[in-house]
Each structure stands twice: as C-alpha cells, then as structure tokens.
Amino acid sequence: MPEKSSSVVWFRNDLRIDDNPALRAAIDHHQPVVALYILDEDPSVARPHGGASRWWLHHSLQALDERLRHIGGRLILRSGSSAEVLPKVIREAGADAVFWNRRYGRGERDQDAALKKSLRDEGLEVTSFAGTLLYEPWTVTKDDDSGYAVFSAFWRAAQASAHPREVVATPRSLDDGSTGLDSDDVASWKLLPTEPDWAGGLAEAWDPGEQAALKRLREFLANDLADYGEARDRPAEDGTTRLSPHLRFGEISPHRIWHEVHESKVGGSAPERLLSELGWREFNYSLYYRHDKISEANIKPEFDDFPWKKPDPEAMRAWQKGRTGLPLVDAGMRQLWRTGWMHNRVRMVTASFLIKNLLIDWREGEQWFWDTLVDADPANNAANWQWVAGSGVDAAPFFRVFNPVTQSKKFDPAGAYIRHWVEELAELEAPAIHEPTDALGAEEYPEPIVDLKKTRAEALDAFATIKR
C-alpha cells in the first residue's frame, strides 16, 4: 500500500459537490480523493435508467466532472458490476477508505451492505452518509416500528423527530488522487439518443447540473415562492420549482432546499406547502424502502384482481402521443414527450385518464413515464402512479376520477397551456378549446377516443368487482 493512502468517494444519486457529506468527509479527513461514478445496469440492483433519464445522466456526469475539475479533481467513470468495479478501483488507487451517500432500494442496500462488509474485512474504512433524504426511512416509524401509512401522520412525525442536518459547505479544493487511473469517456456509454435524436426539446428545456439547480432554487425563492400555493396548480404558469430532475440525480439536496426555504422571508402558508412536497418525496421513499416492488406490485393486494382491459395498443399509443382528443391530456403528454417533464397537476389528470377512462393497468403508464421523464424516480414515479390508481398507501380513493375537461376549465381557464402544446388547437379561444369537438378551426384534431361519462361509469363498475 502506498505511503500516502487515498480515499474513494463513490457517487451514485448525489451528483453534486455542494452539501455532499460523503465528499466533504473524504476531503476533510482522507485526502487525496478519487471521485468515482459506476454505470451499473444490473436490474437486480437498481432499475436501469429510462431514455430521458439517460440523457440527463450524460449531462449531469459532465457537469459533475466540471465542478470537480474546478476544485482540482476529476470524475472517474467506469462501467460494470459495482461489486467488482468498486474494489478494483480501490486497489488501483491504493485507497484505504471509501465514502458514499446512502441508497434506499432493496437491491441497492443489499449491495452496499455486502460491499461495506467485504471492504471492512479487508481493513478499509467505509463510511456512509445521509445525503439524499431529510429523514432516513428507518427513523420515521410508529411505536411498533412499522412505517406510516398516512402521509400527514408521517410528515408530522418526521418533522417532530428532528431537524434535518445542516448543509455541509461546498469544498473549495481537493487533492486529486486519480493520477494514473483510467476513466471511460462518457460518450462511449451511449446515454444520448442517436436515431431518432429526440433530445432536442430536452436540451431546450433543461440545463442539467448543480449550478443550474442552485440558480433555479434561488430564482424560485425570490420570485415564485410567495404565490406557490395557487400558482403551482396552473400548468400554464411556471409556478412550480421544476427542481425535480435536479433532485432525482442529487444535483441539489433536499437539505439545501429545506434550509433556504426556512431562511426565506416569504410569509403565509406557501413555504410550508413547498416543504410538504418535499415531505411527499420522503413519504414515497419510506414506502419504497418497505415495498421494493413498488413499481410492479399493487401495495393493496385486492388490486391484483382488478379487471384491466385487454391490451389495447391503439389506445395506449393515442395516450402516449397525445392524440386522445382530450385537450388537457394531449397537452400534457406532448409536453412530456417534448421536454421530458410534465406539470404535476397534469400528471394526475393524464394518469387518471389512462387508468380510469382507458382502464389500462397503471403499470403501463408508470413504465412510459419511467422512459420519458427526466425526473423518473424509482420511489416517486411508482408511488404517485399507485396514488392515482388507488392501489397505494394513503392513495386517492379509486372513485376519485378526474374529468379532463373540468380540470382543464378549472386550472387552465384561458387555455394557454393547451394552446402552447397542441398546435392544432392554437387558434381556438377559451371556452371552445376545452371541448373542441365541433369547434371551427380544430383541424385534424381527433374526436375524444372515449366517452368520459360512459367510461367513468365502467371504471366504477370494474372497481366494484374487487371490493369486498
């Protein structure tokens, strides 16, 4: 072992140098430092990234490398099984310590635990940190150690349990320990689409990386937080934080957001409202922690008998491409396809439409979102789909069926969101645009592919068959 031994910081879902406890600990106590990211596509460890997420990951890794170079380091890229690659890099670097921020899926925890044990057995120092969640899922429990099944009780208990830790300072410099280590070229990972290259809209809409994330947070706090409570529901406005993909890849930490919201001068209920959205993220992770198969298995087992419609590729394709004839649904699905993101309210409407008007299994919708969302998150995406389906924990009751026309009149009254995303309807004015069926000028726009009233009734009948 070399005289001056180094440490490895294993980056996973924490692609930032700000408020990164693992990186901070390595720099403070164990220089020189090797920064490592491993592309491990073994599905038994973690769900492989979908297409839009791969695009984001490519740029996020480049951004992290830049940030590390800025402070004197660089990011080493390797691919393969983490269980083999991590020990290999440790040997090559002659490191005797490893630092990482924790992951929460079953396969991830198993892998991390096994690595921690085997590396410690070899005499290495291995330390893990809370970098991704405000509250570790095993710390927010009821008296019998089980997890909470109701969001409000969960969030109350979490907030009462402790304040989230302080943010740790952005390192100004590091002593790079990667000399002589090979790194893959990120381009060789082929994370970007080739043909067709559908990423143009993503590049227009997004700027991956922690600097853009911090900038957006500051802008939001200065300009948008005050009106968040109302504006967040109107998809035509930029009333939401749009931090979701940055959070997904850990380009910003929830701790950073939590503390800056608390320090903001904005009064009223908006700050609390925003924090409760972070709370839903924590809640979803606590469900994921206890239900590893959350994207595959109904949490409520009675939904296993739900009479979903036989596979209907035509309806599925109409939904995916935004050709359902329901303007708000189509606007949302096109925003998703073009930008890799959809406004939260419209996610609820489009999901409700797929599940309850088309009677298509929520898992098909969840998979589509997984492939097309830049913020596709193993906990949030699945838990939110189960929320809409009614099969989840503290989910919306199944009979809560969104009417896409009513929702559109209520939350996009002027039709600005629809007009922006559905070109065929761009000439239509407000009342007509919500139900353009016989409106003049709605060229080439499809008739609704289903009768809302009829399919709603059918969904309720279907649900009645699985009720005790």
Partner DNA sequence: TGAAATGTTGGGGCG
Partner DNA sequence: ACGCCCCAACATTTC
Output 53 or 384, the one with its CB closest to DNA. Answer: 384
Distance CA 187, CA 173 (A): 27
435 binds DNA (CB under 7 A): no
Beta bridge partners of 79: 39
Q: In this chain, which of 337, 341, 402, 417 binds DNA, going by CB under 7 A?
A: 402
400 binds DNA (CB under 7 A): yes
Number of residues that bind DNA (CB under 7 A): 23
Output 128 or 344, the one with its CB closest to DNA. Answer: 344
Q: Which helix (H) or strand (E) holds 120?
A: helix 106-121
Site for DNA in 192-251 (CB under 7 A): 233
Contact segment (CB under 7 A) with DNA among 76-84, 115-123, 236-244, 394-402 equals: 394-402
Output 53 or 380, the one with its CB closest to DNA. Answer: 380
Distance CA 354, CA 205 (A): 26
Output 389 or 401, the one with its CB closest to DNA. Answer: 401
* Angle made by CA atoms 372, 376, 377, in degrees to the nearest 5: 165
399 binds DNA (CB under 7 A): yes
Instruction: DSSP letter for 356, please.
Output: I
Helices (H), 209-325: 210-219, 228-231, 244-248, 254-263, 270-290, 313-321
Helices (H), 180-220: 200-205, 210-219
From the CB of 244, what's the least distance to DNA, in Å? 13
150 binds DNA (CB under 7 A): no
Distance CA 103, CA 128 (A): 10
Q: In this chain, which of 91, 172, 410, 454 binds DNA, going by CB under 7 A?
A: 410
396 binds DNA (CB under 7 A): yes
- What are the tokens at 103? 């992951």
Q: State the CB neighbour count (10 A cutoff) for residue 87.
A: 17
406 binds DNA (CB under 7 A): yes
280 binds DNA (CB under 7 A): yes
From the CB of 405, what's the least distance to DNA, in Å? 8
Contact segment (CB under 7 A) with DNA among 4-12, 27-35, 53-61, 395-403 equals: 395-403
From the CB of 465, what's the least distance to DNA, in Å? 11
From the CB of 462, what's the least distance to DNA, in Å? 10
Instruction: Determine the straight-line distance between the first and last CA of the chain, rounded to whole angstroms.
Output: 65
Q: In this chain, which of 403, 419, 434, 442 binds DNA, going by CB under 7 A?
A: 403
From the CB of 409, what's the least distance to DNA, in Å? 9
466 binds DNA (CB under 7 A): no
- What are the tokens at 59? 């740029």
Q: Does residue 406 contact residue 329 with C-beta atoms inside 8 Å? A: no
Q: Per-residue x/- marks for DNA, 345-384, CB under 7 A?
A: x--x------------------------------------
Site for DNA in 258-277 (CB under 7 A): 277
139 binds DNA (CB under 7 A): no
Q: Does residue 190 contact residue 322 with C-beta atoms inside 8 Å? A: no
Distance CA 225, CA 265 (A): 10
Beta bridge partners of 128: 100
Compute CA 38 distance to the chain's CA centroid, rounded to the nearest angstrom: 20
From the CB of 386, what's the least distance to DNA, in Å? 12
From the CB of 384, what's the least distance to DNA, in Å? 8
Contacts of 188 (CB under 8 A, 6+ apart): none
Q: In this chain, which of 344, 439, 441, 466 binds DNA, going by CB under 7 A?
A: 344
From the CB of 155, what's the least distance to DNA, in Å? 11
284 binds DNA (CB under 7 A): no
From the CB of 358, what's the least distance to DNA, in Å? 16
From the CB of 335, what's the least distance to DNA, in Å? 17
From the CB of 403, what's the least distance to DNA, in Å? 4
Output 82 or 350, the one with its CB closest to DNA. Answer: 350
112: phi then psi, degrees, rounded to nearest 5: -65, -40
Contacts of 67 (CB under 8 A, 6+ apart): 16, 17, 209, 210, 211
453 binds DNA (CB under 7 A): yes
Contacts of 1 (CB under 8 A, 6+ apart): 94, 96
| 3-state SS, residue 126 | strand
Contacts of 397 (CB under 8 A, 6+ apart): 390
Contact segment (CB under 7 A) with DNA among 287-295, 299-307, 367-375, 400-408 equals: 400-408
Where are the extended beta strands (E) located within 280-399?
A: none
* Angle made by CA atoms 391, 450, 373, in degrees to the nearest 5: 55
460 binds DNA (CB under 7 A): yes
From the CB of 103, what's the least distance to DNA, in Å? 24
Q: Which helix (H) or strand (E) holds 334?
A: helix 327-339
Output 109 or 456, the one with its CB closest to DNA. Answer: 456
Binding site for DNA (CB under 7 A): 151, 233, 277, 280, 344-345, 348, 387, 396-397, 399-403, 406-407, 410, 452-453, 456, 460, 464
